[in-house]
Structure 1
Amino acid sequence: MTETTSVLDTLLQLGDSALIASQRLCERFGQAPTLAQDQQWLSIGLELLEQSRQWLEYAAELLNDGRNADQLAFLRDARQFHNLVMLEQPQDNPLQAGLCHWLYDGWHQARLITLQGSPLPLLAITARRALPQVRGHWEHSNQWLLDASTQDRPGLQQALDQLWPLCRGVPPDSHDRDEKGIDRSWRMPLKAALARAGLTPPRRVPAAPSRDHAHLQAVLQPLQGVARTAPHHRW
């Protein structure tokens, strides 16, 4: 794998994951127990959307095939996305949705910390700029985890048992050379936070299921609907 391919995989992984995470937060709008919580989730979703735009713009420049960030976001098929698999899983209840986002925030923070040391200015500078926001997201998610565990610890443990097998630093079809380092830096703070919440990762973790693009397609359909209906329209 060439260095250009590796950088492109990283850009698409970050951009696509932030885009899907943002869409997932938008799906939850109006379901929080308080208006303040709803506003906070929406604010985080908008910040992730902006981060996604930046990463996808850089990816479009590297691809240099005439596409821009909007076309990468709205006109690619599900099989062409590089997002974390756990983000596209069906979120059947608020506990599962919240825990999925908590897991993503932990990975996101660890990924950006690693990229700060990249020899490529494009990656290092962008990661450094995004990190303060992502640290705020992680703190907010940690508080949510503590609050949720006091209200429904058994339900949260059940959601953790379902999502933990999907806690991989990279998608199954990626060949990111930093996977092992990111996995270690990701899981350590996760396990510490879980312990504070009285939760335990499953000891025997089954192999992650093969990727089902139908799940991602269901997430992309409302996100891409307008752009696909009128691909040449400008607002």
Structure 2
Amino acid sequence: MSTPLYAELARAAVESVERHLKVPVQVVECEDREAYLTKLRLDRLCPKTKCVFFDADWRAIRDMDLTGWDGAAWMAVHDPGVFHPKAFPVHDCPVLGLDAGQYFNSGFFCWDNSRAEHRAVFGTARKLSQEIEAGKIDKLHDWGDQSLLNAGVQHNKVPLHLLPFGFNYMRFMVQGRSFLHTPAMVHAVHAAGFPVAEKMRHLDVAAEFLGYDLDTSESGERAEDAAVKFQHARAIKLA
């Protein structure tokens, strides 16, 4: 998704996805003030097929093989913000009746838009947004889409597979001690929690550091390729 404020970040994100996921990319453009509401309409804006969504401040830094995903489950990464008393999930989960252990970060997720139950996630999120605006539900601390999409998944009982943190690595969560380590293998970095003006620098530095491989020999490359394929297959099947 690209807005005027995030246009440069979006271009870098698209380039990273084309390089590391090797899938066609559809850029959804909108005004900055409409970004989160537009995200709640992805079921209407995207083709009826398996889809991967990524925020403009999310960047793939290693190859990601999602071919083993059959589309039955919604896939995303758990949001460690549920452990921080000042983070919005702590307030929003009780308001919406959500299981914090199944609460995902919506900066990166996969869904099958050909499945009615997956499209219903967005419809439920839109309905809840309208009810909040009408005062029927307490206002959320999340002023965006994340808690609403989580409610859409949980209220519709859509199966959720939580991928390892390295698929959506957020330094802000490690720094805030909500996630206690940096994974050995990071596939994508997300500048969630950083001011817009600092996001590009953060992503550049994180991509260079976390994407750097000490062993660049042919045998080392083969070892990494085998490890990545194993981890991806295991994550998709067992998450």
Alignment TM class, shorter chain as reference: under 0.3
Higher strand proportion (structure 1 or 2):
2
Higher helix share: 1
> TM-score, length-normalised on structure 1?
0.27
